[in-house]
Chains A and B, each alone.
Chain A
Amino acid sequence: MLDTLRQIETPEGVFLRLRAAGALPRAQAWTIDFVLRLVVFSAAMIPLSLFGSAGSGVGALLMFVLMWAYAVVCEVWFGGQTLGKRAMGLRVVSADGAPVTLVPSVLRNLLRVVDILPGVYAVGLASTLIDPYGRRLGDVIAGTLVIHGGELPVGSQVPKVAPMAPPPGLAPDEQAVIVEFAERCGQLTPQRQQELADLLQPLTGCSGEAGVQRLLGYANWLLGRT
């Protein structure tokens, strides 16, 4: 298991598995956001500059919104993702895995002022390296967490072969290993499949392609196929 995996028990009694994001993808997301905001601001300033000093006032308001409000609005009302985070597949959630609410989001974005010190996020970087879940100071105090929002690929189908009962006395985790092997077969080269199946020669009693087929048969039987 990944050591950044955070398991959180929900009120329904099951576990959420949140994969905390490290400093690098977050820095990339921040860079994307930064460039986007720069582009929007520059693009808006071209027509605004025609209006003289009133335009510069609206420009200052726009800058304020981009600087302070952009991240909060995105996080609270657009699923915990600024555009940069969306591009990197990251998401801000509260420590209990629920979507982030207004006050924590405001807090984590205000405390960016401290994390960004001195200059290039040095405090934030140090904090993400020390914290087991890669949180910067703002996240620690706001009780939020940045996670990889994209879901893991779902395990693939076990190839269908004639089921065959495995020798008795297999422990549950041993059964699970056999099924898992069958699920991952599609992603492995035949040579690697055989190499892995050969490790179980004492169980299957045959080697090479025959061993692989036998393990697949066991897996089909364990899944309850007839």
Chain B
Amino acid sequence: MKQERFVALHREAWSELQHWLDLVDSKPRQALRDARASGFPVEYRRLCHHLALARARGYSGEVTDRLQRMVQQGHRLLYRPPAPRWHRALSFLVAGFPRLVRSEWRCMAAAAVLFFAPALFCLVALQFHPQWAHSIFGSAQLAEFEKMYDPANHRIGRSSGTDLAMFGHYVMNNVSIAFRTFASGLALGVGAVYVLAANGVIIGGVAGHLTQMGYGGPFWRFVAAHAAFELTALVIAGGAGLKLGLTLLAPGRQRRGPAMVAAGWIGAQLALGAFAMLLIAAAIEAFWSSVAWFPDLLKFGSAALLWLLVLGWLWRGGAQAEGGDGA
């Protein structure tokens, strides 16, 4: 068939489809409610068929370029990402995320050791050698910590600022740190190791210093509850970063490229989960932890409950579905 005849046969159908595709770009809602929408997949496949024919028969650019362009537009529409669903996000948080954490338990354990070992060491060491605090922090920093956790404050854990201000501040800071920890793991894991250990030293140092000087009461009352989400999320983000770095170092029985893509896919999901945890942590930290007048029982009781909740969730979350899949 000569080109002109081919074009004459299908011109109508093409321009109608082109018109609808342009409409999708400009007014997606209206176009997708149109009756043509349900017939689109069939029309798109016919269009692909026409393009293949045009190429095989060596038709000129006038036809092939035009069809090529419509095919790209159609491909983009047919294979567009699904609309976000609350149900999916929720089932990921409840079941998918803890399952993912458990499946990467080696990296998570390594990250936990990298973080908690220096933290505990600093905490204990500062009880016996209080002067070491000055090797970790400058004196201005120490003064700031002491001001924040002064038992005389009616709001603990901050020197100024309202709840909302601190919420924004916590979200920005903590999530940024977690995201950077994850991403810097790409540098053969060095970044993640550094951030985890450094945060362990700092957090352990503050805790040790304040406990030793008798400000432990307000400090532990402040941190106990939100630490459940915050520290766990930091460890998970660090573990995901370690996984990225270790995969680059030792991809196992895969080529490095595909292994990195797979590790990145897992890591990004872990980072998303850690992000959700840090949002919860920031909300607790800003609106609950800072209230000084709650009795100790309520403070530490709620903290114990939250720790149990987080650990139980990570340990058992999604376990039934896992069994059901036979995985």
Contacts and interface: CB of A to CB of B under 8 A. Distances in A.
Contacts of B55: 14
A132 interface: no
Contact of A155 (B62, B79, B172): B62
B182 interface: yes
A140 B259 CA distance: 12
A10 interface: yes
B51 interface: yes
A68 B4 contact: no
Interface in B14-51: 44-45, 48-49, 51
Given A57-B165, A60-B168, A60-B172, A224 B75 contact: no
Given A68-B175, A101-B81, A60 B169 contact: yes
A103 to B, nearest CB: 5
A63 B120 CA distance: 34
B3 A99 contact: no
Contact of B165 (A16, A56, A64, A104): A56
A57 B168 contact: yes
Contacts of A98: 75-76, 79-80
Contacts of B44: 12
Contacts, number: 170
Nearest to B61: A155
B68 A54 contact: no
Nearest to B73: A151
Interface in B47-64: 48-49, 51-52, 55, 58, 60-64
Main secondary structure of the interface of A (DSSP, over half): helix
A176 interface: yes
A152 B75 CA distance: 16
Interface in A149-172: 151-158, 172
Given A53-B162, A58-B164, A137-B186, A10 B268 contact: no
B68 A17 contact: yes
Nearest to A62: B168
B10 to A, nearest CB: 14
A141 B187 CA distance: 13
A141 B172 contact: no
Contacts of A141: 186, 244, 260-261, 263-264
B271 interface: yes
Interface string B71-107: 1110110011100100000000000000000000000
Interface string A74-89: 0011010000000000
- Chain A interface bracket (under 10, 10 to 19, 20 to 34, 35 or more): 35 or more
B324 interface: no
B166 interface: yes
A97 interface: yes
A61 B172 contact: yes
B160 interface: yes
B66 A154 contact: yes
A114 B183 contact: yes
Contact of B75 (A59, A97, A106): A97
Contacts of A222: 2-3
A175 interface: yes
A99 B4 contact: no
A125 to B, nearest CB: 16
Interface in A167-183: 172-173, 175-176, 179-180, 183
Interface in A83-128: 97-104, 106-107, 110-114
Interface in B253-277: 257, 260-261, 263-265, 267-269, 271-272
Given A58-B164, A98-B79, A103-B268, 8 more contacts: A60-B171, A61-B167, A98-B76, A104-B265, A107-B268, A140-B260, A143-B264, A151-B69
The 5 closest A-B pairs by CB, nearest first: A224-B2, A155-B61, A60-B168, A57-B168, A57-B165
22 contacts: A14-B52, A53-B165, A54-B162, A57-B169, A60-B169, A64-B172, A77-B81, A97-B75, A99-B79, A99-B81, A104-B268, A110-B179, A114-B187, A140-B257, A141-B261, A142-B264, A152-B65, A153-B65, A180-B60, A223-B4, A223-B60, A224-B1
